[in-house]
Structure 1
């Protein structure tokens, strides 16, 4: 048996480990099915069709996790907080977003380790988008 020298194999990105583009398309598609029916979140998407928003989030997550850089190639730097600034994102919106994303993550059937890694990022991202205090 031929020995493989240390450092000759490239590690797979998270994107590759979880199944690549198909996995992220399934995640985001399931997420937006929930958003479409959510009275709190749906008004934050001014486009009649959620398709463009779904595509943007899909491409962003693909790029973030080590896939192709199509998102930045088309839209430049993500600037997530700036892009969300026009919308009042309070704790209720945060919770609704995570509720739909949790259901979408659960549909993927990832390994516990991959699910934990993805969920840790998604909860961080959701918290960082909050830009409006809760009503007193």
Structure 2
């Protein structure tokens, strides 16, 4: 039996994931809905955490868990009002990041299916007015 290929390996590993996440955060940086959810002055630490999470999720290094423990995504995002509008903005920037990548249509669909599910899962406030 040879080495098992993961989705992480198939798409080009860390370089591909980090390029996608970097492009995503370029969009977040200027987004009036999402930017307030990132209290750090520099988005770099958030970008690194998200890239490490996705690397691990897709079968790459386990750096995320080694540094931060279990992802507990809903708990980590609980302090922020993640509304349906915020999820739409998040997906808009992620779609742009995937469109700028060199994934095959099948890889793009697999990645997109995951992030659309994740965005819906993270919504914790249904009322967009309460987030203002």
TM-score normalised by length of structure 2: 0.95
Q: The residue matched to 1:108 in structure 2 has which SS?
A: coil
Residue number in structure 2 paired with 1:113:
106
Measured against aligned partners, the alpha-carbon deviations of 1:90-128 in whole angstroms (never above 9, x if no partner) come to: 010000000000000111121011111000000000000
Equivalent residue pairs, number: 129
Provide the C-alpha distance between the structure 2 equivalents of 1:134 and 1:94, rounded to a whole number of angstroms: 12
Structure 1: tracts of 5 or more residues without a match = 1-7
**Runs of 4+ in structure 1 over 6 Å off:** none
The structure richer in helix per residue is: 2
Summarize the alignment of residues 1-136 of structure 1 with structure 2, pairs less than 5 Å apart: 8-135=1-128
Q: 1:26, CA displacement in angstroms?
A: 0.1
TM-score normalised by length of structure 1: 0.92
If you compute each CA radius of gyration, which structure gives the higher value, 1 or 2? Answer: 1
Structure 2: tracts of 5 or more residues without a match = none
